[in-house]
Amino acid sequence: MQTILDTIGDTPLLPLRHLGRGLPRPILVKCEHLNPGGSIKDRLAKAIVDDAEARGVLRPGMTLIEATAGNTGVGLALVAATRGYQLVCVMPEKMSVDKRRVLSSLGATVIIAANAPPTSPDNFQNVAKALAAEHGWFSTDQFQNPVNVQVHARTTGAEILRQVGGPIGAFVAGAGTGGTISGVGRALAQAWPAVRVVLADPIGSGLASWVETGEVGPDGSYAVEGIGSSQPPANLHREVIHAAERISDEDSFETARRLVAEEGLLVGGSAGTNVAAALRVAARDDIDGPVVTVLPDSWDRYFSTAWMQAWGRRLHE
Ligand code: PMP
């Protein structure tokens, strides 16, 4: 090993021994929170930079810019620190203070954008695009860059196939950029055509309706970070996905709490969303094989959030 980037990926795949008890088939969780930057996004951060360097569009000393809920920013910050780039992250206002602090500590410049819809010029993705054009910075563009989907097929998906070593009943994941579900879903379906690929979507996101009907559902608010949208991103490939499960904030955060307390898995809110959906899928009759999902990030990103602060209050009641 040469740098910390060499420890990205090859994460454990573990059965849920307590939450999955009594189900007709196991739920296997891929521990992406154990990546060096604490999330699944380390994979694409490194892959996008590797690709841009190989194409000659990125040279040492240049500035990277990304619109990020935080995790891709942390991944990119690790890459930037080890390879000598500057990094600018544009984050939506709703993201936790913990994520802002982490990014600043890692030397990134953080710009906070208003919580505006994708059609607004104030939306975090549009702000990042405008800044990239204005300054000639390299836009890593996780929402559109095809390397995001490719790296999940080539690494996350291939690792799951190897780790399971047999048929897979279903793959369940939320979608932020769509990279995980599109890339892993495609790789698993190529090996096991009967696999069901299920989107775990927060109630308030419009993506579940889009998967089911092709029409985006109404835009609502929800507190889970990193997943769901009112507009399907380019990297979310609808043809790979068979069904959707709608999960409330309450269910996501309670399931995350149980993953911590009962399984020792120190994960964030979207892991709760994924596992809450996986529990429903695993209870169905038409699934043949284990249900696999991902634990996208670590709990340390959320210590200041209202939902995690409430865990502390429960302990004192
Ligand atoms: N969970 C969290 C906490 C995330 O930050 C992200 C990425 N935005 C996801 C899940 C979804 O991953 P993807 O972008 O691959 O759809």
Kindly report, residue by residue over 152-161, the tens digit of the pLDDT: 999 999 999 9
pLDDT-derived band of residue 95, with 50, 70 and 90 as boundaries?
A: confident
Q: Which residue out of 156, 180, 199, 293 has the highest number of ligand 1 atoms within 8 Å of its CB and is therefore the one to mutate? A: 180
Choose one of 139, 169, 197: the last residue of a domain. Answer: 139
**Cα(176) to centroid(ligand 1), Å:** 5
Residues 28, 76 within the same domain? no
268 lines ligand 1 (CB under 6 A): yes
CATH of the domain at 233: 3.40.50.1100
Residues 158, 292 within the same domain? yes
The pLDDT value recorded for residue 10 is: 98
The pLDDT value recorded for residue 264 is: 98
Residues 118, 25 within the same domain? no
Exposure of 194 in the CB half-sphere (CA atoms within 13 A) = 10
**Domain membership flag for residue 107:** yes
Residues labelled catalytic: 41
**Cα(31) to centroid(ligand 1), Å:** 14
Please tell me the distance from the alpha carbon of residue 304 to that of residue 306, in angstroms, as a whole number.
7
**Domain membership flag for residue 180:** yes
* Tens digits of residue pLDDT in 221-261: 999 999 999 999 999 999 999 999 999 999 999 999 999 99
**Cα(88) to centroid(ligand 1), Å:** 19
Residues 128, 220 within the same domain? no
The pLDDT value recorded for residue 102 is: 87
The pLDDT value recorded for residue 200 is: 99
175 lines ligand 1 (CB under 6 A): yes
Atom of ligand 1 nearest to the CA of 179: 15
Please tell me the distance from the alpha carbon of residue 31 to that of residue 123, in angstroms, as a whole number.
31
Residues 162, 67 within the same domain? no
> Per-residue pLDDT for 36 more than 80?
yes
Atom of ligand 1 nearest to the CA of 148: 15
- Three-class SS state of 113: strand
Atom of ligand 1 nearest to the CA of 70: 5
Residues 46, 29 within the same domain? no
**Domain membership flag for residue 145:** no
Q: Which residue out of 148, 152, 224, 270 has the highest number of ligand 1 atoms within 8 Å of its CB and is therefore the one to mutate? A: 270
* Tens digits of residue pLDDT in 124-145: 999 999 999 999 999 999 999 9
69 lines ligand 1 (CB under 6 A): yes
> How many CB atoms lie under 10 A from the CB of residue 297?
29
The pLDDT value recorded for residue 315 is: 62
**Domain membership flag for residue 147:** no
DSSP string, 159-214: HHHHHH-S---EEEE--SSSHHHHHHHHHHHHH-TTPEEEEEEEBTBSHHHHHHHS
| CA-based radius of gyration for the chain | 18
The pLDDT value recorded for residue 18 is: 97
By the 10 Å C-beta count (0-12 exposed, 13-18 middle, 19+ buried), 89 is classed as buried
**Domain membership flag for residue 303:** yes
**Domain membership flag for residue 8:** yes
Residues 22, 62 within the same domain? no
**Cα(252) to centroid(ligand 1), Å:** 14
225 lines ligand 1 (CB under 6 A): yes
Residues 60, 202 within the same domain? no
9 lines ligand 1 (CB under 6 A): no
**Domain membership flag for residue 220:** yes
241 lines ligand 1 (CB under 6 A): no
Residues 122, 269 within the same domain? no
Residues 216, 291 within the same domain? yes
Average confidence (pLDDT) over 262-282: 98
Residue 86: give the domain boundaries.
Answer: 41-139
226 lines ligand 1 (CB under 6 A): yes
pLDDT-derived band of residue 115, with 50, 70 and 90 as boundaries?
A: confident
Residues 25, 172 within the same domain? yes
Atom of ligand 1 nearest to the CA of 271: 1
- Three-class SS state of 286: coil
pLDDT-derived band of residue 42, with 50, 70 and 90 as boundaries?
A: very high
Please tell me the distance from the alpha carbon of residue 300 to that of residue 265, in angstroms, as a whole number.
12
Q: Is the dihedral of CA 222, 245, 293, 46 positive or negative?
A: negative
Residues 75, 185 within the same domain? no
Total domains present in the chain: 2
**Domain membership flag for residue 166:** yes
Choose one of 74, 107, 139: the last residue of a domain. Answer: 139
Choose one of 106, 139, 172: the last residue of a domain. Answer: 139
